[in-house]
Amino acid sequence: MAKLKLTYFDFDGGRGEPARLALHIGKIPFEDQRISPKDWPQFRDRTPFQALPTLEVDGKVVAQSNSINRYVGKLAGLYPKDDWQALLCDEIMDAAEDMGTRIANTIDLPADDKKTAREQLAAGGITRYLEQLQARLMAAGGEYFVEQRLTVADLKIFMLVRWLRSGALDHIPKEIVERVAPQMAKHFDRVATHPDVAQYYERRKAA
């Protein structure tokens, strides 16, 4: 077994969290290195693309969240072996990344511009993505996105939906998932109550 170190910011969310969850679910030993935001400026230039997460595999560092998700998903048995199903899994993860990036691009805008941009996203891009993701979910059977079982695609969507529902995004209604794509809200609850996911967060609370 390769020696793994996953590096991401010190909070339970974001781009690095699906890989943490996948490794936990698969019972894959790894070092969970968590970086404080205040330490990020001095850490940034040590990463391949000046971004997190990174994954160190036997001393070799790689980046890009979905690439990491695929790798650890394979280790944990949470990524399809069938090429078509793998493509469907990748599509979902990349769509989630696209939506997350669109939202993230509004974070540093001036207040008025942020309000306008996020209201436009809520009415347009986010709504479209949620509708299409829900359609993909229902086409796959309604419970999980691929192979009717938990995969890294579900973990990626789980984190995105949690962010949307958190109320932390000003001018994006936190009920948008329930209103636009109610089956996506049910999917979130399904993943949250998965025994291994629930155990992970119980352990985090106790830590």
Residue 207 has pLDDT above 90, yes or no: no
Any residues with CB less than 8 A from the CB of 53 and at least 6 apart, and which?
6, 7, 8, 15, 16, 19, 63, 65, 68
DSSP state of 30: -
What is the tens place of the pLDDT at every residue in 26-84?
999 999 999 999 999 999 999 999 999 999 999 999 999 999 999 999 999 999 999 99
Encoded amino acid at 197, one letter: V
**Rounded-to-integer distance, Cα 33 and Cα 108, Å:** 26
Cβ atoms of 79 and 73 within 8 Å: the answer is yes
pLDDT at residue 190, rounded to an integer: 98
Q: Give the pLDDT band (50/70/90) at residue 206.
A: confident
Give residue 153's pLDDT band: very low, low, confident or very high (50, 70, 90).
very high
Q: Which domains does the chain possess?
A: 4-77 (3.40.30.10), 83-194 (1.20.1050.10)
Tokens of 95: 């769509």
Q: In terms of residues, how long is the chain?
A: 207
Handedness of CA 64, 67, 71, 73 (dihedral sign): positive
The contacts of residue 89 (CB under 8 Å, 6+ apart) are 73, 79, 80, 145, 146, 151, 152, 153
